[in-house]
Amino acid sequence: MSVWVWVSLAIAGFFAVSLLVGLAVAAVLANIGREFSRLIEFEPIAAAPWTHATESGSRTAEQPLAGRGAGGVRLG
């Protein structure tokens, strides 16, 4: 056989092995992803408890916004 036939067979073999290794890695990563997604508990927003603005303890409504620069730094 010619040298070019061996070279073309080697290139075809390299691509075949690369494809098989890529598929094997993809299968392992898909399995890891499925197992990881089982660990996460999804809670719908509708099931979240209701909180009132007065109970949250947030003082942003009490503080005036005028006279403040970027990041809440007092200008004057």
Tokens representing residue 15 in the block: 């691509």
What is the total residue count of the chain?
76
Amino acid at 24: A
pLDDT tens string 1-34? 899 999 999 999 999 999 999 999 999 999 999 9
Token code pair at residue 25: 């890695």
0.75 exceeded by the pTM?
no
pLDDT, mean of residues 36-43: 80
| pLDDT recorded at residue 1 | 80
